[in-house]
Structure 1
């Protein structure tokens, strides 16, 4: 199922929000935007780096994870999109969190976040140089947050 998830119309649309928001906020493309929205959704899903996003719920739930993310978290699509994003991270201290929020407020994104994440099987890994950005639809409405990183180290428990 997960290998064809990118073909679903709602995922194609969501992929455009991820890509458009990244370009708008960060000022560069997350990946080369070639072809149709469906081709771009496929490229995003099979990109050689992690891309995840969550919605605007009080307890945000993941609503997108590309194949690298699913592999890293050792989880399938159906289970991933039911996972609260908070539950995959170790708590960060308040000062670090406050600094991150201030940077997002000033820049619209954070591009140097690092933190420990936990896979579905309990494996811990440190993500590095992570970009976190707000997602907005074409009308400018806030619709969640996304994260992207290409560097991580597995942590021996």
Structure 2
């Protein structure tokens, strides 16, 4: 798999396929309302046109973001190059760390969780809500885990 710091990762058909297939396999529902001609088309749409924020962090004890679509980049006020170097825990308000950590642990245990709402911090320091969040493990069909992804379908200012 391509490394997260490679700008082409944002449009990687293999990563788009992992996002889509693991979401549907774990949640039982498709991530997107439309079918795509191929994984390349899906990757371009997810990154550049999706009307929702889509993030992913790698595996490990202090995971770093490996993906953020343009909607997420706008909400969080980080360009790709900064986003994919940010530990995901730093995206949450310090007062919300307990809730965030519990949500992440529940996903690790159950495969996915939905219905989350939490306070996040933009690059400028502005606080905002992410809402209607579903998070899932990025699992290959053979069980290999590449981390976790999250989609937030709405967001609002505090």
User: What's the TM-score bracket when you normalise by the shorter of the two chains?
Assistant: 0.7 to 0.9
TM-score by length of 1: 0.84
Q: In the comparison of the two structures, how many residue pairs are matched?
A: 149
The 3-state SS of whatever aligns with 1:150 is strand
Q: 1:83 to 1:103 in 2, by over 3 A?
A: closer
Q: 1:98 Cα shift?
A: 4.0
Structural mapping, 1:69-108, within 5 Å: 69-91=72-94, 92=96, 94=98, 97-98=101-102, 101-102=105-106, 105-106=109-110, 108=111
Structure 2 residues without counterparts, runs of 5 or longer = 1-6
2:75 and 2:66 map into 1 onto residues whose CA distance is 16
Secondary structure at the aligned position of 1:139 is classed as coil
User: C-alpha displacement at 1:144, in angstroms?
Assistant: 0.4
**Which SS does the other structure have where 1:111 is aligned?**
strand
2:43 corresponds in structure 1 to 41
- Corresponding residue number in structure 1 for 2:13: 12
Report what 1:137 is aligned to: 140
Kindly indicate whether residue 65 of structure 2 is the aligned counterpart of residue 62 of structure 1.
yes
Aligned partners of 2:100 and 2:118 also within 8 Å? no
Q: CA deviation at 1:5?
A: 5.9
Residue 27 of structure 2 corresponds to residue 23 of structure 1: no
CA offset digits 1:38-83 (Å, max 9, x no partner): 0010111120000000001321000000110011111111111011
Contact 1:56 1:144 in 2 (8 A): yes
SS of the aligned residue for 2:120 comes to: strand
Structure 1 residues 67, 103: closer, same or farther in 2, change over 3 A? closer
- How much does 1:95 deviate? 7.0
| CA RMSD of superposed structures (Å) | 2.2
